[in-house]
């Protein structure tokens, strides 16, 4: 709930029911009531304890939105791109108006856990390696990881451009053709480039967890839901001061 009064149009838009401009139209049309009284001024201020209704249905305030999505392959992790569909295209129109952005990216052909949020500070902290938020990836490769790959990941893998990754954790399967990778940064194509530095090529990549929160197994590819308060607390507890 907001700590102080808000403009009525911002309240309606903040609930994810419309854009700010459409909220103004709804209010001017007399479809919004505040504590039982019709209000037609979009700039009217509303107390946090006010009861706001649109067409008789109560409107709950949400300052920020945090979504867990199971990103399918074939979608770009950006808000807009002329090269193809983006993850925002998987959302209904009302949510696409909520100013959501991906908290970190997955490549077009990669899958799994993606956070979409309207909270810019939270987004920055999830992405920044200084925050220490660990991400878990499950990968399949075209040839076995060589012996010593685990130690190389732990020491920090040098990439082809000379940049050295922060220490990460590699847990190969018994046949070393798949693995779990744990890291707290997100350089461009980082997991694929780290594997390539070990002489293997990633065939499939799926992000399985962020900040210790696993992707909900009930979410089909392209599906999403709000992060729970407990999940948000778990991710937030990983943040260090940056």
For the chain, which residues make up each domain, given as ranges?
6-58, 66-129+212-236, 134-210
Q: Do 66-129+212-236 and 134-210 fold alike per CATH? A: yes
Instruction: Give the residue among 64, 111, 35, 78 at the shortest CA–CA distance from 232.
Output: 64
Per-residue pLDDT of the chain (242 residues; tens, 9 = 90+): 344 577 898 888 777 677 778 889 999 999 999 999 999 999 999 877 789 999 999 887 677 889 999 999 999 999 888 888 999 999 998 788 778 999 989 999 999 999 999 888 899 999 998 888 999 999 999 999 999 999 999 999 999 999 999 999 999 999 999 999 999 998 989 999 999 999 999 999 999 999 999 999 999 999 999 999 899 999 987 665 44
Question: What's the confidence (pLDDT) of residue 68?
Answer: 97
Distances (CA, A) of 142 to 33, 109, 167: 61, 16, 23
Question: What's the confidence (pLDDT) of residue 239?
Answer: 61
Phi and psi angles of residue 111, each rounded to the nearest 5 degrees, phi first: -130, 175
Question: What's the confidence (pLDDT) of residue 191?
Answer: 97
Residue 160 burial (C-beta neighbours within 10 Å; 0-12, 13-18, 19+):
exposed
107 an active-site residue? Answer: yes
Which of 35, 107, 175, 216 is labelled catalytic? 107
**Angstrom distance (rounded) from CA 211 to CA 186:** 13
Third-level CATH fold of 66-129+212-236 = Alpha-Beta Plaits (3.30.70)
Q: Which two tokens mark 228?
A: 């729970």
Instruction: Give the residue among 223, 227, 232, 217 at the shortest CA–CA distance from 92.
Output: 223
Third-level CATH fold of 134-210 = Alpha-Beta Plaits (3.30.70)
Q: Which CATH architecture has domain 6-58?
A: Roll (3.10)
């Amino acid at each position: 709930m907001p700590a102080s009064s808000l403009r009525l149009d911002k309240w309606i838009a903040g609930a994810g029911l419309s854009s700010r401009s459409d909220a103004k139209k709804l209010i001017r049309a007399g479809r919004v009531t505040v504590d039982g009284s019709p209000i037609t001024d979009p700039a009217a201020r509303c107390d946090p304890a006010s009861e706001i209704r649109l067409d008789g249905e109560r409107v709950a305030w949400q300052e920020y939105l945090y979504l867990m999505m199971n990103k399918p392959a074939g979608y770009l992790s950006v808000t807009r791109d002329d090269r193809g569909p983006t993850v925002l295209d998987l959302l209904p129109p009302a949510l696409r108006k909520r100013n959501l952005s991906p908290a970190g990216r997955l490549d077009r052909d990669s899958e799994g856990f993606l956070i979409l949020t309207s909270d810019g500070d939270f987004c920055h902290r999830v992405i920044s390696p200084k925050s220490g938020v660990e991400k878990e990836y499950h990968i399949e490769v075209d040839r076995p990881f060589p012996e010593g790959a685990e130690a190389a990941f732990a020491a920090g893998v040098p990439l082809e451009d000379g940049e050295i990754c922060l220490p990460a954790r590699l847990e190969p399967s018994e046949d070393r053709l798949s693995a779990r990778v744990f890291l707290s940064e997100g350089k461009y194509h980082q997991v694929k480039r780290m594997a390539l530095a070990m002489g293997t090529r990633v065939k499939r990549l799926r992000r399985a967890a962020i900040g210790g929160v696993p992707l909900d197994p009930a979410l089909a590819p392209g599906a999403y839901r709000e992060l729970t308060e407990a999940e948000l607390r778990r991710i937030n507890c990983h943040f260090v001061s940056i």
